[in-house]
Structure 1
């Protein structure tokens, strides 16, 4: 039997991550019981104290066990934590040595959404790939530069250290773990029961690019603003460098440091975000939108759009434009 420890952190926690994980793993046990088989999972909530943790002033979650009572486990699930990340990390730092110890004894570890901030704080992610909610990506990169963030991914699996993308996509990771531990048949059954799209691999289509301006490099911030205000124009890196009295090399270095994007990547993302907004709300066709955001090469536009969103421009319009959706 697999022993699963779902953490009950202190602070502002996404209750759905605790309840959802608990429910799915136990539903597998129900499926097995219905076919005359033994349960596969023993699911327990593990906290720092016996007292219930109250979330959103309404919902109390009582741990089954405290850390000292868990000598060994097979999987540790870290739910999403919200609020000031430094503060949440400090509130839950007593979990970290225990997580590391259990991992060294063979336990696997899975973070859900922004639970990645707690997992990264253990050091177990250093040099490894990790995903989290796209909205928190810039904060995560600044706080954990030794972790390779792949925020477009729904699931990462680094030799038994797992992470999921944002919000409800944690269900995709739980289904992935069900498949690993219980087989594809039960994973598919869970996906149908909970109506979770099976084997979804990217959250790129959900990402809203707002630009990373939480830095102190004023010339780079002004360059960002210029790009955002003139996205339909053809802007070169040399032009930007000259505008702000920087060498090209210096601008590129500082731009990457400040925003986690190269200047060219930033220009592409601003253009594609504008294209997404037009495709969602407007009546223009894909070609009209392409010209509107400053592209003249159809192939380049489609390639860049799909690289950033995971969908072709037409697929994106069909999926997210309300008028198209209603008409179909």
Structure 2
């Protein structure tokens, strides 16, 4: 195994999310160090970390903290990993400001660096064009905007982390944790990654971000007829609803309803109804102690086993696991 520390460069820019920068730098810097210190073992840092920016200039993060980089992105001649953090400010403004630096992301990728982007930082990576035809993820709340701006990227917003051709993307804001641990495992093996996660008390087992998502993300369209259908479903999700009745109520044929709903929401009416029921079930699991048998009746289901299978398929967790993880005390 290569004994030299691997180099991790974080690309900083105006309106970046400070925690995604400093947090990732900390996790990489302490790989091979924190676990060893806890157990009185020799420390062997596995990564050299550095912060880069345009022309090496200090930059103001979205929380109004100014960070001072170690190096200009223009002067980075080698890095094993280039990490693009979350955009904390206006995405379009940041993309416009960062245009001159995109060439350096592409340059380092061509030189063999792994390029990793977190949350809305994937917009910056996609802006280079090197994500075209590749799988990616981003924050679930910005999935529709991402798809509109980058239709050639194969977006999977349900995933926490994606990987293809040395391009890594992570989902919502704090998914840099998952991304960092994944990359530590890639370079240093499972044991170092596991030790690093445990020493920082990090949950490294998250595989998707659908447990955090909301069905409201499918409201961003302008079809008034379908908005009316969605509103009806949102107000009556606990009732038995048949497609034929839904179409008749909104003066459409079943075929027209299916076509228009799919076009506006990229899902079917019954799949949307399922998502509403799951979302309400999540809220009840978070805020009440209702037994599962009572809870499923409140969201329009009768069979506990079929509901449990659907819930786990949707969120990645069983109802009991979800309640333990998210219950508000």
Report the TM-score, using the length of structure 2 for normalisation: 0.89
Could you tell me how far apart the structure 1 residues matched to 2:149 and 2:25 are? 30
Is 1:321 matched with 2:322? no
> Residues 216 and 96 from structure 1, CA distance in 2 versus in 1: closer, same or farther, beyond 3 angstroms?
same
Q: Does residue 7 of structure 1 match 2:24?
A: no
> Are residues 1:264 and 2:264 paired?
no
Q: CA 1:243–1:85 in structure 2 vs 1: closer, same or farther (change >3 Å)?
A: farther
SS at 1:191 equivalent: helix
Which residue number in structure 2 is paired with residue 126 of structure 1? 132
Pairing 1:254–2:260 present: yes
Q: Which residue of 2 aligns with 1:19?
A: 22
Query: How large is the Cα RMSD of the aligned pairs?
Result: 2.3
2:157 is aligned to 151
Instruction: Indicate the residue corresponding to 2:111 in structure 1.
Output: 105
Q: Unmatched 5+ residue regions in structure 1?
A: 324-328
Query: 1:28-62 CA deviation, whole Å, 9 max, x = no partner?
Result: 26469976676542322111133210224641112
Aligned residue for 1:83?
A: 89
Q: CA deviation at 1:155?
A: 1.6
Distance 1:254 1:142, change over 3 A: farther
* Aligned 1:159-308 pairs, distance under 5 A: 159-308=165-314
Residue 326 of structure 1 corresponds to which residue in structure 2? none
Question: Normalising by the residue count of structure 1, what TM-score does the alignment of the two structures yield?
Answer: 0.89
2:66 is matched with which residue? 60
Following superposition, the deviation at residue 286 of structure 1 comes to: 0.9
List aligned pairs for 1:18-37, cutoff 5 A.
Answer: 18-28=21-31, 30=33
Which runs of 5 or more structure 2 residues have no equivalent in the other structure?
A: none
Check 1:238–1:128 CA distance in 2 against 1; reply closer, same or farther (3 A cut): farther
Matched residue SS, 1:9: coil
Distance 1:104 1:146 in 2: 20
1:254 Cα deviation after fit: 2.8
Give, in angstroms, the shift of residue 209 of structure 1. 3.0
Question: Following the alignment from structure 2 to structure 1, what is the Cα–Cα distance between the partners of residues 126 and 277?
Answer: 32
CA distance 1:5–1:211, shift in 2 (3 Å) = closer
- Residues 303/38 of structure 1: CA separation in 2 closer, same or farther (3 Å cut): closer
